[in-house]
Amino acid sequence: MTTSEIECRNCGDRRLIPFLSLGKTPLADALVAPDADFDLEERFPLDVAFCESCTQVQILEEVSAEKMFVDNYLYFSSFSDDVARHSRENALRLIGERRLGADSLVVEIASNDGYLLKNFVEAGIPVLGVDPAPDQARTANERGVTTIARFFGTELAAELVADGKRADVIIANNVMAHVPGLNDVMAGIAMLLHDDGIVSIENPYVRDLVDHGEFDTIYHEHLLYHSCSSIQALANRHGLFLNHVENFPKLHGGTLRWMLSREDWKSAAATAFLESEVASGLSTIGYYRDFAEKVETIRRDLRTLLEGLRAEGRTIAAYGAAAKGATLVNCCGLGTDLVEFVVDRNVHKHGKLMPGTHQPILGPEALLERRPDYVLLLAWNFKDEIVAQQREYLAGGGRFIVPVPTPEVLS
């Protein structure tokens, strides 16, 4: 693979070096209706590249955002207790540290169903959610979290500023990976931010993705894979500074929280993260080429494990109709011959089929009704939460398989 024709979404340079191709896959959240014409299901190339200039990792294909987040987007953040707990802690801390009150404004970009902002609302703090997914925005408004169903960028930020709004806190969690107009979003944040306001960004960390073989978190919604250096380059371009970094190693496979403001200072943690990225080679293409080899091994080993179990006559289901789950079953070629059905707690997904591989999606109670011998944990990021809920299935002799970092049967 050679350098690409497209521009880096962060710095605009054309020196993008592709290092991993996951073939052509369907959109990871495009669950399929059982009566759909499967021949019409769209697939798009999934190739990942590294920008030699600013170190930003990104995919090359760009599918329309409306297609991914407006039509048929069924991801509701409120289905994980761990995420709810993490979000509440974040909100309570911001309220205390920033002394937020009735005169403050907290804006969240990609606020989904209001899972995070509701904590500020309960404390009497004015909020504004922004999320283009219509069902999620409606749910948020119904629960008292004022939400605008639009994409965020300079256009919306300018309208809000003209309307007299400036944000004391802007939160952007699990969205900076999803935005094709990365600079437009950061420019909008800078525009809307109060002079002494702060920005809190969370996103899975590209270093955890690579080090733990989490290749299934690469899908078309995730255009960008962030590091401290890529976030710092982006922030500086818009007059903001990376002040502090916090690490949540278990959240979504390894998440960082980046705190930005207009003040140019850096905590010891932020400095240490930036230095360790250079020391570990994260800013070089070799790091990612090694990862591409690791991905091949995981794909092969997982198939071998599942084929071996099927050859012994064992039955296999999967847990979690997650976007990463759709990526995994498609990239590893896990059809219904290997994995019979998928269970998920999100009721909006029930009755649909997995993209590409077409396993039916059922409620988690199907594990007790059908008792598959093994369950492939597609939502491996919620391993502890899900295993704790499935004690009865496990007590009956069922076993979980985790696919990454190395496919293994949990003991």
Query: Cβ closer to ligand JHZ: 234 or 386?
Result: 386
Of 187, 321, 353, 401, which one interacts with ligand JHZ (CB under 6 A)?
321
* Pairing verdict, β 16-25 and 44-51: antiparallel
Burial 373-411 (b: 16+ CB within 10 A, else e): ebbbbbbbbbeebbeeebeebeeeebbbbbbbeebeeee
Question: Can you list the alpha helix ranges (DSSP code H) found in 147-267?
Answer: 154-162, 182-192, 206-211, 228-237
From the CB of 26, what's the least distance to ligand JHZ, in Å? 14
Of 382, 400, 404, 407, which one interacts with ligand JHZ (CB under 6 A)?
382
Of 331, 381, 393, 401, which one interacts with ligand JHZ (CB under 6 A)?
381
- Assess 254 for contact with ligand JHZ (CB under 6 A): no
Decide: 147 and 129 in contact? Cβ < 8 Å: yes
From the CB of 197, what's the least distance to ligand JHZ, in Å? 24
Of 179, 322, 331, 338, which one interacts with ligand JHZ (CB under 6 A)?
322
CA 311/CA 400 separation, integer angstroms: 18
For residues 166 to 195, the per-residue mask of contacts with ligand JHZ, x marking binding by CB under 6 A and - elsewhere, is: --------x--x------------------
- Assess 115 for contact with ligand JHZ (CB under 6 A): no
- Assess 404 for contact with ligand JHZ (CB under 6 A): no
**Hey, which residues between 329 and 348 contact ligand JHZ (CB under 6 A)?**
344-346
CA 411/CA 394 separation, integer angstroms: 10
From the CB of 344, what's the least distance to ligand JHZ, in Å? 4
Question: What are 131-139's contacts with CB under 8 Å, separation 24+?
Answer: 132/65, 132/66, 132/69, 132/70, 133/69, 133/70, 133/73, 133/75, 134/70, 135/73, 135/74, 135/348, 136/73, 136/75, 136/76, 136/77, 136/112, 137/111, 139/76, 139/113, 139/114
CA 200/CA 211 separation, integer angstroms: 24
- Assess 352 for contact with ligand JHZ (CB under 6 A): no
Facing residues of 170 across strands? 107, 199
From the CB of 253, what's the least distance to ligand JHZ, in Å? 8
- Assess 323 for contact with ligand JHZ (CB under 6 A): yes
Query: Cβ closer to ligand JHZ: 307 or 365?
Result: 365
Helix, strand, coil shares, percent, the chain, to 5: 40, 20, 40
Decide: 221 and 178 in contact? Cβ < 8 Å: yes
Stretch that binds ligand JHZ, among 47-55, 266-274, 293-301, 378-386 (CB under 6 A): 378-386
Consecutive H or E run containing 245: strand 241-248
From the CB of 354, what's the least distance to ligand JHZ, in Å? 11
- Assess 208 for contact with ligand JHZ (CB under 6 A): no
For residues 218 to 247, the per-residue mask of contacts with ligand JHZ, x marking binding by CB under 6 A and - elsewhere, is: ---x--------------------------
Stretch that binds ligand JHZ, among 4-12, 50-58, 314-322, 367-375 (CB under 6 A): 314-322
Query: Cβ closer to ligand JHZ: 4 or 346?
Result: 346
- Assess 105 for contact with ligand JHZ (CB under 6 A): no
* Pairing verdict, β 316-319 and 16-25: unpaired
- Which of 110, 5, 136, 114 lies closest to 60, judged by CA? 5
Query: Cβ closer to ligand JHZ: 160 or 179?
Result: 179
- Assess 131 for contact with ligand JHZ (CB under 6 A): no
Hunting for tokens 């955002």 — which residue is that?
A: 65
Binding stretches for ligand JHZ (CB under 6 A):
75, 79-80, 174, 177, 204, 221, 252, 320-324, 344-346, 379, 381-382, 385-386, 389
